[in-house]
Amino acid sequence: MQRKRLIKLITAATVMLLAAAAFGTPDEGMWTFDNPPLKLLKATYGFTPTQEWLDHVRLASVRFMDGGSGSFVSPDGLVMTNHHVAVGQLQKISTPEQNYVATGFYAATPDQEIKSSDLEVNVLVDMKNVTGRVEQAIAGAKSDQEKLKARDAVIAEIEQESKEKTGLRSNVVSLYSGGEYWLYVYKEYTDVRLVFAPERQAAYYGGDFDNFTYPRYDLDVAFFRVYENGKPVQSEHFFAWNKEGAGEDDLVFVSGNPGSTNRLNTYAQLVYQRDYQYPMTLGLIDSWIGALREYSSKGEEQERRALVRIFGLENAKKAMTGEFGGLQDTSLMNQHKRKEEALRKQIAADPEMQQRYGGAWETIETLLASDTDRINRQFYQGFFGSRLTGLAINIVRYAAEVTKPDAERLDGYHEAELENTRFGLLSPAPIFQDMEEATLTWSLGLSQKGLGDDDAFIKTVLNGKTPEHVAAGLTKETKLYDVNFRKKLIEGGEKAVKACKDPLIVLMRKLDPLLRENIEWNREHMQSAFESAAEKIARARFAIYGKDIYPDATFTLRLSYGTVTGYPMNGTKAPCKTTLYGLYDRAVSFDNEGDFMLPRRFWDRQDRVDLSTPVNFVSSCDIIGGNSGSPVINRKAEVVGLIFDGNIESLPGRFMYDERINRAVAVHTAYISEALRHLYDAGKLADELEGN
Amino acid sequence: MQRKRLIKLITAATVMLLAAAAFGTPDEGMWTFDNPPLKLLKATYGFTPTQEWLDHVRLASVRFMDGGSGSFVSPDGLVMTNHHVAVGQLQKISTPEQNYVATGFYAATPDQEIKSSDLEVNVLVDMKNVTGRVEQAIAGAKSDQEKLKARDAVIAEIEQESKEKTGLRSNVVSLYSGGEYWLYVYKEYTDVRLVFAPERQAAYYGGDFDNFTYPRYDLDVAFFRVYENGKPVQSEHFFAWNKEGAGEDDLVFVSGNPGSTNRLNTYAQLVYQRDYQYPMTLGLIDSWIGALREYSSKGEEQERRALVRIFGLENAKKAMTGEFGGLQDTSLMNQHKRKEEALRKQIAADPEMQQRYGGAWETIETLLASDTDRINRQFYQGFFGSRLTGLAINIVRYAAEVTKPDAERLDGYHEAELENTRFGLLSPAPIFQDMEEATLTWSLGLSQKGLGDDDAFIKTVLNGKTPEHVAAGLTKETKLYDVNFRKKLIEGGEKAVKACKDPLIVLMRKLDPLLRENIEWNREHMQSAFESAAEKIARARFAIYGKDIYPDATFTLRLSYGTVTGYPMNGTKAPCKTTLYGLYDRAVSFDNEGDFMLPRRFWDRQDRVDLSTPVNFVSSCDIIGGNSGSPVINRKAEVVGLIFDGNIESLPGRFMYDERINRAVAVHTAYISEALRHLYDAGKLADELEGN
């Protein structure tokens, strides 16, 4: 017994040391469901999830196609996600008379549930490793360009085959920067109806100020019900509700779809992002927010229309500023550099490996320094933030692409993707002319400034006129607001599009060759070489560390794990949870004003709620944007919380996870139960959750 | 009217620009009462304090001689300060059976008030500029050493003259690093009786974790009553109580005794502190805390005894770590450097000024690089933290010094200082043998490690034995615990001390020559040269900026001013105040455990208090350690709060004030009133405060 225990300890230590060599700390990682960190979990927490546990968790998890995660939380198709994932839908169903963003929404009976116009949720029903087939297909390629083409072709083939065979959404996902390829098969649900959302003032309490921070007091929850054939889906796999919720030091898991991370980037790529990409993009965001704020200031209705977009941009800005902070942190950067040097040293020590992978890092560094003028120019040759221009270019391309063989099409127009593309093109969500005009004016002005009047893009779009003039003309004359008009164009195919006199379609027909040239050039000169080098590095990493590593996030399903625990903050420590006392404190501290105003019901019903109810809590689970709406579950796969944010210290997590301070912020299930029952008169919904 | 207003605006702008050139931001500064920033106050707040207002504020303010500030808050000698200023007294009057630190204390009637054994408070009754007389006295000096001697002599003379004439404590204070000398005359009160203190758990809520941070929830208040001739002092000057307390955006003032700042240090001095002093001292503190924690772990009584000392050290460590952070902040350091370069450039532009002051900065830089071995050695030639060794060396020196002419005595033994020195030597506060033994063992071990066995200090003290052995022997055999024994020695003079066989006295007689040599060497080779150079820089600064600057803190009375306002914190914003809701939130968030446990009365009486009562608040007033216990007053000189800390962002304030984030943290008067009435059954005290 003694001996066995000793061996176990040694093994655990070895596992952790190996993992640390590759990545760092025990709670790090967004693991794929085919490769959960079983050794680490056993070593650190003495817990080993069974295959059944893993399958159940995967099948109870959903992905929101327009960004975000969720989960089934009742046998009758009830899906929980964040209010901020649902807010776009809330806005779309709102009118000037009935603003659900401001008032919240509750369907006490099924007939009151409101169907979303363009919401789609996916469940990952199957995963298959297709690395072998992809590698075989590219084995004969003689250049990076050929390789890229061959890979795209075989991927489209695999997706199309699967789509035909299963009738389900089929995506080949590149993991570990091309180290592996997996076919992910999703069941899609498009009949998704809104059941409950609190008012934004409670959901997004503290507003942009508190966004990305902790301690936090948000009721950032919304419930949808998923229907199939007009009836609620009978979800075999759903997470049972645990209304006690997460407790300090509990082991918890997050199952969701982290959007993207750059942890496998080379040091040179991080430097490039620090010195060029982040400053440039942050500048763009600032300018965009400025334009929308100006639009907002024109009236209440304008303010309502721009709200969600501004919220999204503020969100992006704060996040990017935090990430940028990570890139500017020399200690973090040096850590990344040292890890890369350690890997390269081990590769260099083996002549065969050095021959195969050794040059990849230099290749990337060289690529980053090349063609910078052209890359800068391409940045401005496009439209920022306008929905109409997006629809127009997509329609023009759709018509052209569907006539080609699948393998030769642009991304987004492969056979397997068409249904989804059409779904987006035919969304009946309202488009506001004045907001489009304001956005397009700003976007064209920015491009004109960045490119000068002699640039081909500017000549084609402005043709000597002002951005104001062109934007007003295009947005006033186009008929693309009309879903039926779009539908007819799509159904009419290339002929209809070519004959179309709509000014936006005409413009995009003219612009498309230039934009395609950019896409093509990027593929030929950049993407192919980058991917080829990244693939080499991925293989080098496998060669040294095996599969004790996880891939960068790709907005596909991942499992994270960690402990419910506070962290050192601002000279003191942050508790692992906050309470309703704290929510009222923050409101009173700011005189119940602005973003810190609590909805009336919180004051009227203060004595009905238990002020010591936990509101939000933090865990060391490794998450990132896209994880919003993910369930936090315990060992028994019961839901104990709902991810809605990371703390400010987690933002450099795009590049590096720091277990000491990186925390995922979640709504506590006790707060959701308490609020539904005592603040929102939604006892029926609480009963459904609690299985009463 | 238009014209007049324009002029006013220009004037205000000019004043602020001038001040900014010298120091930075409008709310910066710890101003002496002879030179309040009238122009800045008028320009920024449209407020001009009258001479009467200034005199009243000065005379209602008190200084606690063992570190801290306070104020008269009733006509019957009631003095308010912080619990953490009073905690040493609470500890001294506590016994194993009755621990007032843990239980709090309230004297409902005068006869229950407990007299402090060695507490002294001062009121600054007179201030006189004596710069002329000091300059005259040193005019003929031929070297820095002679200058120093002459200055010390004339200062002792001025102090003695004043002491004889007024019968009051008389101190000459060097301001602006020797740019000015002022005679400060204090009325001393030594009959100070404890009236009220809450339990430490409420006063120091959040403990070492929350210390130096904000948001904060401390009832860090204590009340004493000052007696004279056995009767409460009838204080003509006291601050009227404003139980509404501070409100957002209010202009407020702090009148208190900031201990020390280094804002006038040269860049080279900051670099020296960054590279040597701070790392060395932080190491010492860590080691000391370790020794005390070990002692603490021996039992509850030991824990009680060491508590205050450990608290003090943890305090110092966190503060120094924050200050050190300022020194390590390149942007802050460069700012300091640029200011210095600007001043030096202006001096260099005038040949006469360059001749007079120009070399001072180089002098300091050269001094800092010289004799580093000797300085390191001196650091270890002494005793850290032992009260007994302090008493012994003081008694030996006292006996010797009083036989000399005043001008030749060591600091602390001048005629004007003797009464105070005797007060300290004869304090009946208990000394614990086991704690002294533990401290001395640690201290001697540290010195032995730093100096080696061949060092004269080590040879004299250890003489081949171990620190444990020597510390045990000395602390067990000495009779210095006994106040009467000390009194007899002092009264017996040099003869009694020379004949004394007490082992600690014997040891100090042997050591004194070595220690005096160090003191002398420092005066001759370091202090004199530093002071002379600093004086030159001070004069250079006056020449360029006039008196639009304030001197570094010197634990003498200063006036600060600022606005009650929050600040950007941790990615969001901190409110200007916290509430009782927040106090309960923090308790429940940490499961009412450890430093976050709320006293029982807070739970039992939760429904008697208004949870929206403001607890603590922040203002941009410029303060530092020593300001603890200072009143926060409004334009009408009513007390609206009680300073007890700075936020963590204010710690680099030792070197640089940053108005954006530097905040003084205070207890709100509404909380004090509410707590006295509804939590502590001290309505009578609340009535006295509120003038009912």
B571/A206 Cβ within 8 A: no
CA distance A161 to A163: 6
pLDDT, tens digit, 9 for 90 and up, residues B375-395: 999 999 999 999 999 999 999
In order of B113, B608, B669, the CA distances from B674 in angstroms are 22, 9, 8
Beta bridge partners of A127: A184
pLDDT, tens digit, 9 for 90 and up, residues A39-86: 999 999 999 999 999 999 999 999 998 889 999 999 999 999 999 999
How many Cα neighbours within 13 Å face the side chain of B547? 12
Mean pLDDT of chain A: 92
Burial track B197-228 (b if 16+ CB lie within 10 A, e otherwise):
bbbbbbbbbbbebbbbbbbbbbbbbbbbbbbe
What distance, in Å, lies between the first and last C-alpha atoms of chain A?
46
In order of A213, A320, A388, A444, B325, the CA distances from A292 in angstroms are 24, 19, 16, 14, 39
- pLDDT at residue B319, rounded to an integer: 84
In order of A450, A474, B215, the CA distances from A382 in angstroms are 11, 15, 46
Mean per-residue pLDDT, B210-220: 96
**What structural domains and CATH numbers belong to chain B?**
38-110+190-262+554-690 (2.40.10.120), 136-188 (no CATH), 379-522 (no CATH)
pLDDT at A20 over 50: no
- pLDDT at residue A308, rounded to an integer: 80
The radius of gyration of chain A from alpha carbons, rounded to an integer in Å, stands at: 25
Among A318, A576, A589, the residue with its CB nearest the CB of B575 is: A589
pLDDT at A22 over 80: no
Mean per-residue pLDDT, B450-476: 96
- A579 chain-B contacts, CB cut-off 8 A: 584-585, 588-589
Least confident stretch, A60-64, A544-548, A577-581, B247-251: A544-548
ipTM of the complex: 0.81
Mean pLDDT of chain B: 92
Least confident stretch, A672-676, B128-132, B208-212, B418-422: B418-422
Closest among A383, A375, A388 to A431, alpha carbons compared: A388
Among B209, B577, B588, the residue with its CB nearest the CB of A579 is: B588
Burial track A600-611 (b if 16+ CB lie within 10 A, e otherwise):
ebbeeeeeebeb
CA torsion angle A396 A399 A400 A401 (round to 10): 110
Q: Is the peptide bond before A575 cis (omega within 30 degrees of 0)?
A: no
A248/B571 Cβ within 8 A: no
CA A320 to chain B, closest CA, distance in angstroms equals 13
Between A571 and A242, where is the model more confident? A242
For the full predicted model, state whether its pTM sits above 0.95. Answer: no
A191-197 vs A114-115, strand pairing mode: antiparallel
Asked if residue A74 lies in contact with residue A233, where contact means CB atoms within 8 angstroms, the answer is no
B210/A248 Cβ within 8 A: no
Q: How confident is the model at residue A25 (pLDDT cuts 50, 70, 90)?
A: low
Question: What DSSP element (H or E) covers A185?
Answer: strand A180-189
pLDDT, tens digit, 9 for 90 and up, residues A521-534: 998 889 889 989 99
Between B451 and A19, where is the model more confident? B451
B573–chain A Cβ distance below 8 A for any pair: yes
CA B569 to chain A, closest CA, distance in angstroms equals 8
SS (H, E, C) B83-110: HHHHHHHHHHHCCCCCCHHHHCEECCCH
pLDDT at B98 over 50: yes
Of all residues in chain B, the one with the smallest CA distance to A612 is: B588
B47–chain A Cβ distance below 8 A for any pair: no
CA distance B401 to B410: 7
How many Cα neighbours within 13 Å face the side chain of B295? 26
Q: At residue A486, what is the residue type? A: R
pLDDT at B666 over 90: yes
pLDDT, tens digit, 9 for 90 and up, residues A344-365: 999 999 999 999 999 999 999 9
CA distance A425 to A14: 53
CA distance B228 to B498: 38
A572/B209 Cβ within 8 A: yes
The radius of gyration of chain B from alpha carbons, rounded to an integer in Å, stands at: 26
pLDDT at A162 over 60: yes
pLDDT at A13 over 70: no
CA distance A392 to A461: 14
pLDDT at B18 over 80: no
pLDDT at B521 over 90: yes
Q: What percent of chain B has pLDDT over 90?
A: 80
A648–chain B Cβ distance below 8 A for any pair: yes
CA B687 to chain A, closest CA, distance in angstroms equals 27
Task: For the beta carbon of residue B627, count every other beta carbon within 10 angstroms.
Answer: 28
Q: Distance of alpha carbon B208 from its chain centroid, rounded?
A: 19
pLDDT at A8 over 80: no
Mean per-residue pLDDT, B302-310: 88
Among A248, A322, A585, the residue with its CB nearest the CB of B585 is: A585
Measured CA angle at A113 (ends A107, A115), to 5 deg: 150
B589/A322 Cβ within 8 A: no
Q: How confident is the model at residue B50 (pLDDT cuts 50, 70, 90)?
A: very high
Closest among A61, A243, A356 to A691, alpha carbons compared: A243
pLDDT at B513 over 90: yes
Mean per-residue pLDDT, A361-387: 93
Closest among B468, B500, B460, B470 to B482, alpha carbons compared: B500
Residue whose tokens read 């105003």: A597
A586–chain B Cβ distance below 8 A for any pair: yes
A vs B, Cβ pairs < 8 A, gives 84
Among A248, A570, A581, the residue with its CB nearest the CB of B584 is: A581
Q: How confident is the model at residue A692 (pLDDT cuts 50, 70, 90)?
A: confident
Of all residues in chain B, the one with the smallest CA distance to A648 is: B571
Question: What DSSP element (H or E) covers A458?
Answer: helix A456-461
CA distance B18 to A692: 72
A588/B585 Cβ within 8 A: no
Of all residues in chain B, the one with the smallest CA distance to A321 is: B571
B206–chain A Cβ distance below 8 A for any pair: yes
- pLDDT at residue B94, rounded to an integer: 87
